[in-house]
Amino acid sequence: MSKLSHLDDKGAARMVDVSDKAETAREAVAESLILLSAEAFDAVVSGTVPKGDVLAAARIAGIMAAKRVPDLIPLCHPLPITGAQMEFEPLAERNAIRIAATVKTFGKTGVEMEALTAASVAALTIYDMVKAVDKSAVIASVRLISKSGGKSGDYRSVGESRSDQIKSITSPAPLATPKTANAKKQSAKPQVLMGEVAAARAPAAPHAQRDAFRTFMTSHRLRATQWAKEAGVPVGEIMAFLTGRSRGFASETADKLARAAKVRTDDMFK
């Protein structure tokens, strides 16, 4: 009566019987995109949101959500999740956060819903964390990027790029141009810029430098976009350091930021 696997011959809902399926390694990658105001975006990446570390909360929420799908989505099978990873890509020019959720299992059915749910709940968590600053934040999209394993084989999204899709969405905060939709899932992983150096003359470990830099921004009431403009440096360099996508600044960049803030370079990392 129906080609939908969740319906029987009489059209009644059912949980699909996977007893005879082979167990295989399975993986799914899903993404969501949330659009923020400039103020909310700066607060997220600089760690100054009143509720706390937004991306840390969203990361845990996404992983937890991947493990609770059978409690949320009717007819989904309980699965032994063997891996769940959340990645966040700030799109600085357009005040957006791209979320990528990767979920793995070894079993008889796939983890597409787990990845989609993880990406969705992470986006909702970001909204919850920033709503006091920006109630107009928009979750612009949630979609499957790729899956592997199982009888149906591999899948990778194709068609128009995410950039083209996003441009068609009306929102108060326009988006940056992300990578194309058929990019490999590895593209969501942070990349280190060539030629970068450790945060200028600071002996501390990278994470300690990052925490010190964030504290410096907070104590001096510095907003990333305005500070970068005054210093004459790309705001993306500040965002990349704050979010761990780079290990530090080029010496010239660090010196420009220090001059704009009217401090010594070393003062930004103490």
Please list the active-site residues: 128
Letter for the amino acid at 269? F
Interatomic CA distance for residues 188 and 101, integer angstroms: 10
Token pair belonging to 1: 């009566």
Q: How many other C-beta atoms can be found within 10 angstroms of the C-beta atom of residue 129?
A: 24
Cα gap 220→39, rounded to integer Å:
16
Rounded distance between C-alpha atoms, residue 56 and residue 1, angstroms: 46
Task: Label residue 111 exposed, middle or buried (CB < 10 Å: 0-12, 13-18, 19+).
Answer: buried
